[in-house]
């Protein structure tokens, strides 16, 4: 059984980015927002492909700012007093509708249907060394910045009002976190897939906070779950001849089930 080092590197760097972000997303109560963001990613990627075909540059150069913009609007609506779930629902309805239109246009106007579906389904086995450089660079940025402000993110999760009274600019940390999330999901979409990103952004953090005894312990557990799921999914894909992205998600779900049962006992 031959395993290309490019596949391992892609999955490891992706797992590090998701494993670092996931406990912050869970602690800040942004699971609904992060799930809704995946739909804006589909919109951003399809628009990015269209702009890449007509103007130039790589699709992700266009897709990253397009994907992050709806989350900024949600943050603005929250600051204006609108409930987060209501603000997210409004943006979700808009982005889903625009996604359907943009995907239809890309599939009918450009010869890139296979490229578009690779973003949706993900396939690390098609990764090139250029993909490895790109994923490792952006994943490293996401990990470094998240770890640099990890304590502040967790303070805001525990008591945002008190943190703001103490002088912390809550909106700046919100913008930073949403930017890092947007970069992670867009940058890694082609290798991991939008479908699997739903799992990898949410489950490692959820699992970690079920069994952890502190914020740093939660970070370590989240990273371990993310890495085990990714490498395990790749290994099982060779043994079963099934898609590694799907198997990665199933392994993460299995770990969640085991920890849930163990916690109840």
Burial class (CB in 10 A: 0-12, 13-18, 19+), 108: exposed
pLDDT at res. 86:
79
Architecture of domain 5-195: Orthogonal Bundle (1.10)
The pLDDT of residue 113 is above 60: no
pLDDT, tens digit (0-9, with 9 covering 90-100), for 12-51:
888 899 999 999 998 888 877 777 777 777 888 888 888 8
pLDDT at res. 222:
93
pLDDT, tens digit (0-9, with 9 covering 90-100), for 48-80:
888 888 887 777 778 888 888 877 877 777 777
N-terminal to C-terminal alpha carbon distance within the chain: 39
The pLDDT of residue 219 is above 90: yes
Cα Rg of the chain (Å, integer): 18
Q: Quickly list DSSP for 214-262.
A: SHHHHHHHHHHHHHHHHHHHHHHHHHHT--HHHHHHHHHHHHHHHHHHH
What is the crossing angle of helices 244-264 and 215-240, to 10°?
130
Q: Quickly list DSSP for 21-78.
A: HHHHHHHTT-HHHHHHHHHHHHHHHHHHHHHHHHT-S-HHHHHHHHHHHHHHHHHHHH
- Six token digits for residue 139: 């994943």
Instruction: Match 């920890």 to its residue by tokens.
Output: 259
pTM of full prediction above 0.95: no
Vertex 176 angle, CA 21 and 19, to 5°: 5
C-beta of residue 191 within 8 angstroms of C-beta of residue 124: yes
Residue-range domain boundaries for the chain: 5-195
- Distance, in Å, from the CA atom of 151 to the CA atom of 163, rounded to the nearest integer, reads 12
């Amino acid at each position: 059984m031959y395993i290309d080092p490019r596949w391992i590197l892609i999955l490891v760097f992706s797992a590090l980015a998701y494993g670092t972000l996931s406990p912050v997303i869970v602690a800040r109560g942004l699971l609904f927002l992060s799930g809704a963001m995946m739909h804006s990613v589909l919109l951003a990627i399809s628009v990015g492909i269209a702009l890449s075909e007509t103007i130039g540059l790589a699709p992700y150069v266009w897709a990253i700012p397009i994907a992050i913009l709806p989350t900024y609007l949600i943050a603005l609506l929250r600051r204006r007093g609108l409930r987060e779930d209501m603000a997210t629902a409004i943006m979700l309805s808009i982005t889903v509708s625009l996604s359907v239109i943009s995907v239809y246009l890309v599939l009918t106007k450009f010869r890139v249907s296979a490229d578009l579906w690779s973003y949706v389904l993900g396939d690390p086995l098609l990764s090139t060394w250029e993909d490895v450089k790109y994923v490792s660079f952006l994943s490293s940025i996401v990990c470094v910045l998240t770890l640099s402000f990890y304590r502040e993110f967790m303070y805001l999760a525990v008591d945002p009002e008190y943190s703001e009274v103490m002088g912390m600019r809550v909106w700046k940390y919100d913008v930073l976190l949403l930017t890092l999330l947007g970069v992670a999901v867009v940058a890694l979409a082609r290798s991991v897939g939008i479908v699997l990103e739903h799992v990898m952004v949410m489950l490692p953090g959820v699992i970690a906070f079920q069994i952890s005894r502190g914020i740093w312990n939660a970070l370590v557990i989240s990273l371990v779950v993310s890495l085990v799921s990714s490498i395990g999914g790749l290994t099982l894909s060779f043994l079963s001849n099934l898609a590694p992205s799907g198997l990665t998600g199933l392994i993460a779900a299995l770990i969640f089930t085991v920890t849930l049962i163990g916690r109840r006992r």
